[in-house]
Structure formats: structure tokens, C-alpha cells
Amino acid sequence: MAQWTILVLSLYGVLHGQEIQLPTIQKCCQDGMTRAQNGQVCTILPLISSSHICMIAQEQCCAAAVRDRLCDNGMEMAKGQGACERPFFEGDPWETNISKMCCDCCMLGLMMASEGLSCERQGLLLGRWCAYPAKTCCGKNTTEETEPSTTVTEKLEAGVTVTHMPPEGLDPCRDSKCSQLCVGDGLCACLGGYQLQNDGVTCEDVNECLNGGHNCVLGQVCINTEGSFRCQRESSCGTGYELRDDNNCQDINECTLGTHNCGAEFVCTNTEGSFRCHPKERCSGGFLQDAVGSCIDINECVAHTSPCLPGQTCINTVGSYNCHRNIVTCGRGYHLTEDGTRCEDVDECRTGNVCVDHGCVNLVGFYRCECRTGFIFNIITKLCDVCALCLDINECRHYPGRLCTHKCENTEGSYKCSCTLGFKLSQDGRNCEDVDECEANPCSQECSNVYGSYQCYCRRGYQLSDNDGITCEDIDECALPTGGNVCSYRCSNAPGSFYCTCPPTGYTLAHNGRTCLDIDECAAGRHTCSVSESCFNVQGGFRCLSFSCPPNFRVAAQGRCERLTCEVTQDPASCFLLPLRISFYNISFLTNTPVPADVFRMGPSNFVPGDNMQINIVSGDEEGYFIVQQHAHGGEISLRRTLTQPRDFILTVEMRLIRYGMAHLYVAKIAVFVTHEQPI
């Protein structure tokens, strides 16, 4: 077997930045040689390790074994046949090249031996790949001492890295054609992610996604790149996101890209995964914008939970609110608690000898002396006085404003306190405290308690009744001054809101819920035209049109008839008076179109100097809504009177063209459909 030198390089830092131990390279090389002996292709070997160095060793040892076999075939041919013609060898061109080279070099060695020349080839620079076959074949017939042959496998198993140095002054890699790497014996190698081609020079990208050399996990798809690969997630990011190269989802800014559907009166604001449309004219703080753009005051006292601090009362104002501090004033017989939030009764009987020698009874906010016989309790001095003449005393008159907080009513031998509307008498019988009227649900919708009273509010779409101030009445948005602009067709009021509708046929409601859009019945297949008729869409409906050519005419194309050859007709003289061509056109425009407005242009396809044209409306314009304006190269049919109601016209327009002294007649049948601007 021909001996090929393999330089096993430690590609530390060149290929993958990892150092590979020699036993691993031996195993990889042995696997490559074994697969070469089994006839496998060296460039698509199954990987036994994820190391790029192992892959190179596996591939190059496989290629070396293949070259050994091909070179042996060439030397056997030289020894057996004595000829090295290329047709004698089988395989691809690169395989036959190796076999023929070894055959030729072996023939040279046999010739040197037959002439008695030295097998050391003094003065003969054959090159490394040719020198060994020549020396081997020459040495078979001489007694020269030759170096014992050692195969690649034996040297690898012995743990030896073989490096045959080239002759002095000869560098086999200096003029190498290797596309990436050249090893010491002139052989080519490739970087990680590439494999050597059959030409032994070119490196081609390895598709790790096809040969299973990737490490993508479940849920990822492998995408091959030049010299490597990347793993990309299979599942999409969902609406409003895009997948980045690092497999992370990034929000799409629809406002910047212009992919939003906000109208001209709205401003687009990007959000995470979506966007929002906000009106350009916004209400100031404390107001809410309703459906028609009006600003309605927000009742912060109802809309927010406890907008004021404890001990304060919320009072709504237009566009804002105020917090009023609840002033705690304790009346006589009470004192503030330690936290200062409420009043509690004072037990006067324990604070001292308030009744002197009489009995003392503590009451809530008050006390009473149990006077002995012959004494009467003085409510002012709160002492027991000698009863000279026991008569009723009007305490309310004698002590005005001192006994009761609000109202004082005299009774037999005493008095009674009462409170004004919105307040109730406290437990001491003298002071008054606020009543929370909202607990009784006096309002039809929302209620806010205020000191001594309450205030009713309504939800969006309702307004407070001017009659009782507590009932909420529905706002008829359709009847508002701006109601005519809310819906393009018809506005229907609903409790607290409204909705728009369109005519039952010919229109559909747009996504904004207000505008009516025309339905193209022809495109949607919702028309009733027969097979022989053609459907033409107009605003809010459609027309079924029938197209047929009159006698002595044939159909030349859709919407066009051409005159038959007059010589084949029964009356050629009358035939020549007929137009050369009759064309049919369909036109639609809206009512109240500003005039003058061009409707149709007519003229020859090419203009020849000396042409004389005459264009006239023959029929269909009996009321004079249209006019013909002549030009040098043709004419225009224009609308000269405003049409305020829908109408259909069938205009017959003739164009007489005199060219080179001959008259030619052309006719255009124009169907004009005038429809409403908006559904009514």
C-alpha cells in the first residue's frame, strides 16, 4: 500500500477554541479509515463527536485511506500491465488522476531499477506524492535498504504524530490552492462548519440542519448559516410582536410604522403588543369626553374611593373637588378622645363634689343632682337651690343658644332640643349631627352626601332632571344639535347611548359604527342579474345591463360591436350608412356634482393632420343636461346642469370622422347612472 503522510494538527484557537486529547483524535481517525474501507463517502460521514477537530481527523483519515487504495491500484496496474492508460482505471476524474499518477511514478521506479540506477533518485525532484510510489516500485528489484513501511493506522495507534518534512527549500503549502487550510504534507483541510469537496481543494458549507449536527431543542427549528447554524423558535410571537434574531419577541410600534387604523381626528399611542387611538382635542382634567366630543364633569367623590383623608368630606365642583375638614367640637358635658376624632361623655359625678351634699346622677353629656326635700335642681347652676315657689321656668328663653345646638323647645318643668333638616339629635339630647341621606337611596343613580344635605349625579349618557333634581333622564344624542353628524344615515337613541343603522339594502355599517359603506353587489355575488346580463355596481345598488349587437354587426370584444363587411349583406348601400363601430360604456357619479363636469371623452385613436371630426349627442339628453365640447383631436361630453336627484341616462353619441376625403361614422352608447351622495 502507498504510504501517505498525514499531518495531525492541534488546531487550538483556530477552529473551535478547545484542546482535543490525542486518544480522541486516534478514535476519530480510526473511524474515518474504517468507513473508507466500507466504501462510504468521506465528505458526509456520520459524526461521532461534536468536536470540529474530531470531524477534520475523521474526514482526512478517511480521505487518506481512499488515496492509499487508489494509489495501490495504480501501482498494481504498472506492475501487472506495464501501461498506465486512463481508460484502465474506474471512478471519478479525481480518483483516476490519483491512480494514473501512482501508476506513472511506479513505471518510472521500475525503469530506474532495470537500468541499475539508484532508487534514491539523485537529482530527480519528483515531489512527495510521486516519490514514494517510484521508490517503492524501484526498491522491489534492488537490495537497497529502505525505511520500513509504517501505515497511518500503526503510527496513530503507537501515539506518534507523523510529520514528514519536505526537502530543504521546498514548501508544499507555499503554492497551495487550498481554499481554507493547508496541512504540512500539502493536503487541504477546512475550518469548522465546512467539509472538503471531492477535488481535495475546495471547502463547502456543512448543512448541520440536514446531517443532524445541530443542537436545537424541541420547540426550535434549525436554520443553516454559512459555516454554522442558528436555532429559531417555532411558535410565533402573536399579534403586535415580531421575532428578533435572538429568539426574543419585540413589540411592534404600529404608530411609527403607520400600520394603525386611527382616523384623522385621532392620535395613535403605542402600547405593549397593540396601540390606542385618542382624540386630538381632549378634555382637561376633571372632565370626561362623551360620544359627541362634549366634556362632562367627573364626580370625583363618586368615581374615586375615599378621595379625601379620614376626617374630611368630599365636595364635588365643576372639573374638580374639595375636601372639607370635619371640625369636631365637643359640647358641654363632652371632651375629645385621645385620638381627637370623636367626643365622649364626661362623668361629672367622679370629677368632684358637684352636687355638694346632694346625690349625683351622671347622664350622657350631662348630670343631675338628686336634691333633698325642700330643694330644687337649678339647671343653670346645676346645683340644688331652696325651692321658694316651684313654678315652670322657660329655659329656652332664659338661656338662649346655650342649651341646644339648633332648636330649643320649652316643656313643663324642662325643655327639649331638636335639629334642622339634614341633621339628627345626638345621644346627649342637645347637639346635632349630620344625616347621611344617601343611605336611603334618594337618587335614581348616584348620590353624594354633603354636610346637612346630599347631591345626586347621573352616569354617562344621562342628565339630572330639572324638575326634582334626583331623577336621571336619558340624553337623546340623536336630537342634540350635533346629532345630525353622529351617523351618516340614521341615528337611533338607546338608554344611556345610541346606535347607527344603514338602509336595509345596498349599504353596510363600517367598523366605526357610524358610517355607511356601499356594498359592491357585483363583486360579492349578491345581485339578481341573469346569465346573459352583466352587473354594474352603483352607489347603494346595482344595474343589470344587457349587451347585444344590432343586425349587420358582430361582437368584436366585450362592450364593442363592429360592422360586417357590406359586400356580404343583402343591402350593401344601406350597410355603408351604418357606423363602423358601436361601443358601450357605463359611467356612475353622485348627485350634486359641481358643474361643468367632464363625463366622457371621444376621439380617434390616432390623429392625422387634416382630420375633420363632428361629435353630437343623438339621443338620451332631451332635457339638455349634457353638452358637447369640440377639440382639435376629439371632444368631451360634459354635465352642464346640476342633478339633485338620482337618474339614469342612456346617451347615444355619434362621431363623424372625415379622413382623406372619406367619412367614417362611430357610435358610443353611454349608460350614465346618477346616485345619491349618501344613503337617505
Secondary structure class of 674 (helix, strand, coil): strand
For residues 111 and 667, what is the distance between their CA atoms, to the nearest angstrom?
101
User: Please, which residues have CB within 8 angstroms of residue 458's CB and are 6 or more apart in sequence?
Assistant: 444, 445, 446, 464, 472
Confidence of residue 140 (pLDDT cuts 50, 70, 90): low
**pLDDT score at 148:** 38
Closest CA to 481 of 249, 294, 663: 294
Q: How confident is the model at residue 271 (pLDDT cuts 50, 70, 90)?
A: very high
Checking if the pLDDT of 395 tops 50, the result is: yes
The pLDDT value given to residue 420:
92
Question: Taking 90 as the threshold, does the pLDDT of residue 28 lie above it?
Answer: no
70 with 42: CB under 8 angstroms?
Answer: no
665: nearest Cα among 576, 543, 599, 591: 576
What is the pLDDT at residue 433? 92
Return mean pLDDT, the chain.
80
Of 489, 487, 515, the residue nearest 679 (C-alpha): 489
CB 415, CB 408: distance < 8 Å: yes
Handedness of CA 624, 629, 634, 638 (dihedral sign): negative
Where does 283-392 show beta strands of DSSP type E?
A: 287-289, 295-297, 312-317, 320-325, 334-336, 343-345, 359-363, 366-370, 375-378, 383-386
User: Collapsing DSSP states into helix, strand and coil, what is residue 324?
Assistant: strand
Q: For residue 581, give Cα distances in angstroms to 56, 114, 354, 554, 633.
A: 80, 101, 128, 10, 18
Instruction: Compute how many other C-beta atoms are within 10 angstroms of the C-beta atom of residue 378.
Output: 14
Pairing of strands 516-518, 533-538: unpaired
Gap between the Cα atoms of 282 and 276, Å rounded: 14
Q: Which three cell numbers stand for residue 220?
A: 426550535
Is the per-residue pLDDT at 247 higher than 60? yes
Length of the chain in residues, anyone? 680
With bands split at pLDDT 50, 70 and 90, how would you rate the model's confidence at 435?
very high
Looking at residue 592, what DSSP letter applies? Answer: T
Q: What is residue 285's predicted lDDT score, i.e. its pLDDT?
A: 82
Residue 120 has pLDDT above 60, yes or no: yes
pLDDT more than 70, % of the chain: 86
pLDDT at 146: 36
Render pLDDT for 295-334 as a digit per residue (tens, 0 to 9): 888 888 888 888 888 777 888 898 889 988 777 778 888 8
The model's pLDDT over 165-186, given as tens digits with 9 standing for 90+, comes to 344 445 566 667 787 777 656 6
Lowest mean pLDDT among 168-177, 332-341, 386-395: 168-177
pLDDT-derived band at 393 (thresholds 50, 70, 90) equals confident
Do residues 191 and 59 lie in contact, with contact meaning Cβ atoms separated by under 8 Å?
no
Using CA atoms, how far residue 384 sits from 366, 393, 411, in Å, is 15, 15, 20
Bigger pLDDT: 352 vs 501:
501
Q: Identify residue 271 by its one-letter amino acid code.
A: T
Q: What does DSSP assign to residue 553?
A: E
Q: How far apart are CA 117 and CA 113, in angstroms?
A: 6
The mean-pLDDT minimum among 14-23, 28-37, 581-590, 637-646 falls in 14-23
Residue type, 180: Q
Q: pLDDT band at residue 292, thresholds of 50, 70 and 90? A: low
Amino acid at 417: C
- Spatial neighbors of 390 by CB under 8 A, at least 6 apart, are 376
Whole-model pTM? 0.35
| Residue 99: strand, helix, or coil | helix
**155 pLDDT band (50/70/90 cuts)?**
very low
Contacts of 538 (CB under 8 A, 6+ apart): 588, 673, 675
Q: CA–CA separation, 508 vs 520, rounded Å? A: 10
H or E stretch covering 22: helix 22-37
Which of 86, 84, 67, 66 has its CA nearest to residue 76?
Answer: 84
pLDDT in tens, 257-268: 888 888 777 788
Contact between 255 and 268 (Cβ < 8 Å): yes
User: Cα separation of 186 and 191, whole Å?
Assistant: 16
What is the C-alpha to C-alpha distance for residues 308 and 116, in angstroms, rounded to an integer? 120
Please state the three-class secondary structure of 146-195 as a single string.
Answer: CCCCCCHHHHHHCCCCCCCCCCCCCCCCCCCCCCCEECCCCCEECCCCEE
* Residue 18 predicted with pLDDT over 50: no
Given this model, what pLDDT does residue 184 score? 54
Could you give the maximum distance between any two Cα atoms of the chain, in Å? 175
List pLDDT tens digits, range 44-94.
Answer: 777 777 677 888 888 888 888 888 888 888 888 888 777 777 677 787 777
| Coil, strand or helix at 109 | helix
pLDDT at 462 over 90: yes
